[in-house]
Amino acid sequence: MSLRTLDSLGQLSGKTVLVRCDLNVPLKDGEITDDGRIRASVPTLNALLNAGARVVVVSHLGRPKGEPEAKYSLAPVALRLSELLGKAVVFASDTVGPSATAAVADLEQNGIVLLENLRFNAAETSKVDEERAAFAASLAAFADAFVSDGFGVVHRKQASVFELAQALPSAAGLLIEQELSVLERLTTSPEAPYAVVLGGSKVSDKLDVIGALLPKVNTLLVGGGMLFTFLAALGHKVGASLLEADQIDNVKGYLAEAEKLGIEIILPTDIVVASKFGADAEFVTTAADAIEETPFGASGLGLDIGPDSAARFAEVIAGSKTVFWNGPMGVFELAPFAAGTKAVADALTRMDGLGVVGGGDSAAAVRALGFSDDQFGHISTGGGASLEFLEGKRLPGLEVLGWQA
Is 118 annotated to bind a ligand? Reply is no
| CATH T-level fold of 6-177 | Rossmann fold (3.40.50)
CA–CA dist 163, 140 (Å, integer): 10
362 is in an annotated binding site: yes
Q: Identify the active-site residue in 211, 384, 393, 402.
A: 384
Q: Is 397 annotated as a binding residue?
A: no
pLDDT at 244: 96
Indicate which residue of 173, 306, 358, 360 is catalytic: 360
Q: How far is CA 35 from CA 135, 179, 249, 342, 368, in A?
A: 28, 18, 40, 20, 11
- Identify the sign of the CA torsion 385, 387, 390, 396: negative
Is 204 annotated as ligand-binding?
no
pLDDT at position 364, please?
87
Check if 6-177 and 190-390 are the same fold. yes
360 is in an annotated binding site: yes
Residue 350 appears among annotated catalytic residues: no
Q: What is the CATH number of domain 190-390?
A: 3.40.50.1260
Tell me: is residue 333 an annotated ligand-binding position. Answer: yes
Q: Is 63 annotated as a binding residue?
A: yes
Nearest-angstrom CA–CA distance, 138 and 96: 6
Provide the angle, in degrees to the nearest 10, between the axes of the packed helices 339-350 and 307-318.
20
Cα-based distances in Å from 207 to 58, 121, 248, 254: 33, 33, 11, 9
Ranges of each domain in the chain? 6-177, 190-390
- Find the catalytic residue in 202, 276, 321, 393: 202
Catalytic: 37? Answer: yes
Whether 360 is catalytic: yes
8 Å CB contact between 194 and 217: yes
Those residues whose C-beta lies under 8 Å from the C-beta of residue 269, and which sit 6 or more positions away, are 287, 288, 306, 308, 309, 312
The active-site residue, picked from 37, 132, 157, 342, is 37
Burial (CB < 10 A; 0-12, 13-18, 19+), residue 43, is: middle
**Confidence at residue 376, expressed as pLDDT on a 0 to 100 scale:** 95
Task: Please say if 382 is a catalytic residue.
Answer: no
pLDDT of residue 378: 94
Q: What's the whole-model pTM score?
A: 0.92
The verdict on whether residue 185 carries a ligand-binding annotation is no
Confirm or deny that 206 is annotated as ligand binding: yes
Is 24 within any annotated ligand binding site? yes
323-361 residues labelled b (16+ CB within 10 A) or e (exposed): bbbbbbbbbbebebbbbbbbbbbbbbbebebbbbbbbbb
pLDDT along the chain (405 residues), means of 10: 92 98 94 94 98 98 95 98 98 98 97 98 98 98 98 96 98 97 91 96 89 94 97 97 96 95 96 97 98 97 98 97 96 96 97 91 91 94 90 94 88
Residue 154 and residue 236: Cα distance in Å, rounded? 39
Specify the pLDDT at position 1: 53
* C-alpha–C-alpha distance, residues 212 and 89, integer Å: 42
Q: Is 302 annotated as a binding residue?
A: yes
Count other C-beta atoms under 10 Å from residue 101's C-beta: 15
User: What amino acid occupies position 42?
Assistant: V
Q: State residue 326's pLDDT score.
A: 94
